[in-house]
C-alpha cells in the first residue's frame, strides 16, 4: 500500500516539485535502468494484477534478460520488427520491454480485422508476430496468410507479467548473450492515420522515449513510491509510454487489470491501493458512476492524482472526480509523433486555466506558426507545432508526409490554437481531417472507400461529430445511386463486415447532394455544422416509430438501456444514435445476459441496435434453451 492519504501527499507536492529531478540526465535505453532497479531494490514491486501474484524488480530484470536472450537465439537482431497482438495484460507490458531491448516492437490493436493486420504487418515489415498461445484470432490468420512466423506467448498462470515464448523457429543455443539495442535504434513502431487511408509509420527511438519518460515523470511528479492503475490500452502511446515506461523508469509499480470491469474498479482502487490511475474520458465517467454506487469504498482509496487523455474531459466531470477522490485530475494533450505528451495541466502550485490543455513538460517545445511556417506571437491563432528530443525525426519511408508535416525542424500537429503570455496552450480547432474517436484515429477516406463498395452508394463523405464522452464520433453523408435504397442500419451492418468497430459511422445522413465549397471540394471539417439539422432530425425520425414495450422482455431491456444510457429510450430507438459506445454496449449486454441467461456478444449491437430487435434475439435464444 502507498502510505498516507491523498490529501496528506498533495500537501507535500510543492516541496517535491521544487527538488525533484527526473531519471539520470544522460540518455539511455530502459533496459539498463530496470537492471539497476533489480540490483538496488530487488524486492520492490514492479507489476501487479488483481488475479495474479505481483512480481518485483528483481524478478522483472531476470525475466527481461532471459527473454531478450531467447529472442536473440531465435534470430532477432537490432533493426528487426516484431508485431504484437495481445490483450491489455501485464504480459503485454513485459513483452514490449523484452522485445525493445533487442529490436523494435510494433504493438497492434487486437480488435483489427484480418485485412487491417495484413496491411499493418506488411507496412511495418514485421519479421514475426507475437500472439497468445492457442488463440485463434485475426492476427494469427493474417500472419499465416502472409507467411510471417508466429511466436506464441504462454502467460505464467501464477505471476503477473511472466511468460514463455514458444516458436517453431530454430533456436541457436550457441548464443549465450544478446546484443542490446542502442540509443538511436527504433524501440517502438506505431502507426498513425494520415490524410489518406494508408497509415503513416511512426518510428520512436530509445532516445525519443527516454525524453518522453522524463516529460511524463515531470508532469505527474512520479517517484518510486507511486503505483498506477493503468486502464489505457497498451497498443497506444499513452498506456505504454506515459504510464508503464515512465513508472518503470523511476522504479514505481503498475497495476494491469484484466480488461475494464466497471463494477470491480472500486475494489481494485481499495485492495491494490494505487496512488494514481490513468484512463480515457468514457472510463472516467464509468468510474464516477461506480464511486456514487459505492461511497464507502471511496473513503478507502489513496489517489493523489488522475490522468485523462485521448479526448477532452467535460469540466463538470473533472470537478466531480476531484471532489469525490480528493485528487488532482491532469488532462494530457499528446501525439504518437511526440512519443506521448505534448502538454498537460499540472499539479499545484501550477495554475489550471479554463480551456487550456496546459503547459509543455520538460524538454518539449511548442510554437504557433502560420501556413507559411512563420512563428506567430503570443495570443495569435495559428497551427500548433512541436519540437524536442521526444519528437520523431520523421515518418518512415514517407517523404511526401514529411515534406508536408515538418517545417524548419518543427512538426505540424494539425491543430489550431494559440499560446498565452504564460506559455499555456489553447486548442481551438483541427486542421486535419482525422477523426479522434476517444483516442482511436479514424481516417475518413478509409470509411468513404468502404461505404462506396456498397452497390447502392454513389458518393460518401465521412466526418466528425461531437460526442459527450469520446470527444468525437464518426458520421457519414451518403448519396445513393439512382433507383437504389438502403437503410442506415443495413449500411452500418455492411460497414461492420469490413471495418473495425470504432470506424463504423454512428450516424448516416442520406442526401441528394453532399455540400461542397466554391472549388467543388468537400470540406469535412465543416460538414457537421452544415448538416446539423439533418443530424438532429435522425433522432426525430427514429422517434416517429417510438412505442412502449409490448412484451416483458422488451420492458426489461428498455429499463437496462435507459439506466446505462441515462436517456429515455423507445423500443425502436437506435443505440448508436442515442450516443451509445462500446463501453455502454458491454454494460448493457452484461446485464441482459445476467437477466435472461443468454449469450449476447458485442457484435449483436449492430445486428440488433434497438430494444425491439434485441428483445427478439433474446427471445430466440431463450426458446432454443
Q: Which of 15-19, 571-575, 610-614 comes out lowest in average pLDDT?
A: 15-19
pLDDT given at position 606: 74
| Band of pLDDT at residue 3, cut at 50, 70 and 90 | very low
The answer on pLDDT for 26 being more than 70 is: yes
pLDDT given at position 539: 56
The answer on pLDDT for 33 being more than 50 is: yes
| Band of pLDDT at residue 19, cut at 50, 70 and 90 | very low
Query: pTM of the entire structure?
Result: 0.78
CATH class entry, domain 552-624? mainly alpha
- Kindly report the length of the chain: 625
The answer on pLDDT for 610 being more than 80 is: yes
The answer on pLDDT for 299 being more than 80 is: yes
pLDDT given at position 85: 97
The answer on pLDDT for 24 being more than 70 is: no
- Name the nearest CA neighbour of 582 among 563, 604, 560: 604
Q: In the chain, what are the domain boundaries?
A: 57-181, 435-543, 552-624
Q: Which residues contact 231 (CB under 8 A, 6 or more apart)?
A: 257, 260, 265, 277, 278, 279, 280, 283
Taking residues 455-471, report their average pLDDT: 87
424, with CB counted inside 10 A (0-12, 13-18, 19+), is buried
Residue with cell 495569435: 380
Dihedral of the alpha carbons of 387, 392, 398, 401, in degrees to the nearest 10: -30
The answer on pLDDT for 397 being more than 90 is: yes
pLDDT given at position 119: 94
The answer on pLDDT for 486 being more than 80 is: yes
The answer on pLDDT for 243 being more than 50 is: yes
41, with CB counted inside 10 A (0-12, 13-18, 19+), is middle
pLDDT given at position 6: 33
β-strands 276-279, 305-308 pairing: parallel
Give the fold, CATH level 3, of 57-181. Answer: Rossmann fold (3.40.50)
pLDDT given at position 608: 83
CATH class entry, domain 435-543? alpha beta
pLDDT given at position 189: 97
Helices then strands (H, E): number in the chain?
23, 26
| Band of pLDDT at residue 7, cut at 50, 70 and 90 | very low
Alpha-carbon span 458 to 480, nearest angstrom = 5
Taking residues 585-592, report their average pLDDT: 89
CB 531 within 8 A of CB 509: yes
pLDDT given at position 541: 54
More confident residue, 286 or 1: 286
CB 177 within 8 A of CB 69: yes
Residue with cell 469520446: 470
Taking residues 203-208, report their average pLDDT: 97
| Mean confidence (pLDDT) of the chain | 88
The answer on pLDDT for 2 being more than 70 is: no
Read off φ and ψ for residue 256, nearest 5 degrees.
-115, 115
Alpha-carbon span 53 to 47, nearest angstrom = 9
For 331-336, the CB contacts below 8 A with 24+ separation are: 331/357, 331/358, 332/219, 332/238, 332/242, 332/307, 332/308, 332/357, 332/358, 333/357, 333/358, 333/425, 333/427, 334/237, 334/238, 334/242, 334/309, 335/237, 335/386, 335/413, 336/190, 336/192, 336/202, 336/237
pLDDT given at position 15: 32
Read off φ and ψ for residue 441, nearest 5 degrees.
-90, 125
CA distances from 195 to 311, 387, 488 (A): 20, 21, 26
Alpha-carbon span 555 to 486, nearest angstrom = 29
Helix (H, G, I), strand (E, B) or coil at 284: helix
Alpha-carbon span 108 to 327, nearest angstrom = 33
- Name the nearest CA neighbour of 107 among 249, 241, 257, 259: 241
Alpha-carbon span 200 to 98, nearest angstrom = 25
Which residues are registered as beta bridge partners of 457? Answer: 480
pLDDT given at position 1: 29
| Band of pLDDT at residue 18, cut at 50, 70 and 90 | very low
pLDDT 10s digits, 356-381: 999 999 889 999 999 999 999 999 99
The answer on pLDDT for 388 being more than 90 is: yes
CB 312 within 8 A of CB 284: no
pLDDT 10s digits, 119-173: 999 999 999 999 999 999 999 999 999 999 999 999 999 999 999 999 999 999 8
pLDDT 10s digits, 498-524: 888 889 998 899 999 888 765 456 778
Taking residues 23-47, report their average pLDDT: 91
The answer on pLDDT for 594 being more than 70 is: yes
More confident residue, 285 or 19: 285
Alpha-carbon span 228 to 205, nearest angstrom = 25
Q: Is the dihedral of CA 484, 485, 489, 493 positive or negative?
A: negative
Alpha-carbon span 514 to 8, nearest angstrom = 58
pLDDT given at position 17: 31
Amino acid at each position: 500500500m502507498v502510505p498516507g492519504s491523498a490529501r496528506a501527499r498533495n500537501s507535500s507536492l510543492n516541496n517535491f516539485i521544487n527538488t525533484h529531478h527526473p531519471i539520470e540526465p544522460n540518455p539511455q535505453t530502459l533496459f539498463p535502468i530496470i537492471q539497476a532497479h533489480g540490483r538496488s531494490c530487488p524486492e520492490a514491486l514492479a507489476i501487479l494484477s488483481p488475479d495474479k501474484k505481483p512480481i518485483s524488480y528483481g524478478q522483472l530484470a531476470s525475466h527481461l534478460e532471459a527473454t531478450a536472450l531467447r529472442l536473440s537465439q531465435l534470430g532477432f537482431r537490432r533493426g528487426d520488427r516484431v508485431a504484437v497482438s495481445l490483450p491489455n495484460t501485464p504480459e503485454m507490458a513485459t513483452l514490449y520491454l523484452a522485445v525493445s531491448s533487442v529490436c523494435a516492437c510494433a504493438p497492434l490493436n487486437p480488435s483489427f480485422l484480418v485485412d487491417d493486420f495484413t496491411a499493418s504487418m506488411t507496412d511495418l515489415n514485421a519479421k514475426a508476430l507475437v500472439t497468445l498461445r492457442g488463440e485463434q484470432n485475426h492476427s494469427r490468420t493474417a500472419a499465416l496468410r502472409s507467411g510471417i512466423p508466429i511466436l506464441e506467448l504462454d502467460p505464467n498462470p501464477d505471476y503477473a507479467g511472466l511468460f514463455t515464448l514458444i516458436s517453431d523457429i530454430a533456436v541457436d543455443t550457441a548464443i549465450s548473450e544478446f546484443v542490446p539495442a542502442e540509443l538511436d535504434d527504433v524501440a517502438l513502431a506505431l502507426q498513425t492515420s494520415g490524410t489518406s487511408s494508408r497509415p503513416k509509420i511512426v518510428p520512436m527511438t530509445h532516445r525519443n522515449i527516454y525524453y518522453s519518460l522524463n516529460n511524463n515523470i515531470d508532469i505527474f511528479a512520479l517517484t518510486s513510491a507511486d503505483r498506477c492503475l493503468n486502464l489505457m490500452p497498451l497498443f497506444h502511446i499513452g498506456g505504454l509510454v506515459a504510464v508503464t515506461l515512465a513508472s518503470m523508469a523511476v522504479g514505481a509499480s503498475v497495476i494491469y487489470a484484466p480488461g475494464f470491469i466497471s463494477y470491480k474498479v472500486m475494489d481494485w482502487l481499495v485492495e491494490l491501493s494505487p496512488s494514481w490511475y490513468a484512463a480515457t474520458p468514457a472510463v472516467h465517467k464509468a468510474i464516477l458512476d461506480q464511486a456514487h454506487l459505492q461511497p464507502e469504498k471511496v473513503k478507502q482509496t489513496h489517489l493523489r492524482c488522475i490522468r485523462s487523455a485521448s479526448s477532452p474531459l467535460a469540466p463538470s466531470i473533472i470537478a466531480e472526480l476531484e471532489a469525490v477522490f480528493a485528487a488532482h485530475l491532469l488532462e494530457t494533450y499528446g501525439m504518437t509523433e511526440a512519443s506521448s505528451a505534448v502538454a498537460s495541466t499540472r499539479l499545484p502550485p501550477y495554475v489550471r486555466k479554463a480551456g487550456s490543455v496546459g503547459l509543455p513538460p520538460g524538454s518539449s517545445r511548442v510554437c504557433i506558426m502560420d501556413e507559411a511556417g512563420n512563428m506567430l506571437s503570443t495570443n495569435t491563432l495559428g497551427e500548433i507545432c512541436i519540437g524536442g528530443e521526444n519528437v520523431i525525426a520523421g515518418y518512415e519511408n514517407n517523404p511526401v508526409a514529411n515534406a508536408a508535416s515538418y517545417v524548419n525542424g518543427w512538426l505540424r500537429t494539425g491543430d489550431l490554437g494559440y499560446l498565452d503570455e504564460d506559455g499555456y496552450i489553447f486548442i481551438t480547432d483541427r486542421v486535419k481531417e482525422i477523426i479522434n474517436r476517444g483516442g482511436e484515429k479514424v481516417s475518413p477516406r478509409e470509411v468513404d472507400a468502404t461505404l462506396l463498395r456498397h452497390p447502392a452508394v454513389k458518393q460518401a463523405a465521412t466526418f466528425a461529430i461531437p460526442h459527450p464522452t469520446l470527444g468525437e464520433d464518426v458520421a457519414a453523408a451518403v448519396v445513393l445511386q439512382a433507383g437504389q435504397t438502403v437503410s442506415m442500419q443495413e449500411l452500418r451492418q455492411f460497414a461492420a463486415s469490413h471495418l473495425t468497430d470504432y470506424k463504423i459511422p454512428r450516424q448516416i445522413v442520406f442526401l441528394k447532394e453532399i455540400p461542397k465549397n466554391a472549388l467543388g471540394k468537400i470540406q469535412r471539417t465543416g460538414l457537421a455544422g452544415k448538416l446539423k439539422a439533418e443530424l438532429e432530425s435522425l433522432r426525430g425520425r427514429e422517434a416517429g416509430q417510438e412505442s412502449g414495450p409490448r412484451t416483458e422482455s422488451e420492458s426489461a431491456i428498455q429499463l437496462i438501456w435507459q439506466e446505462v444510457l441515462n436517456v429515455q429510450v423507445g423500443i425502436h430507438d437506435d443505440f448508436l444514435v442515442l450516443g451509445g459506445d462500446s463501453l455502454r454496449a458491454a454494460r448493457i449486454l452484461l446485464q441482459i445476459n445476467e437477466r435472461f441467461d443468454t449469450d449476447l456478444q458485442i457484435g449483436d449491437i449492430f445486428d440488433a441496435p434497438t430494444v425491439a430487435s434485441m428483445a427478439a434475439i433474446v427471445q430466440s435464444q431463450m426458446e432454443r434453451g
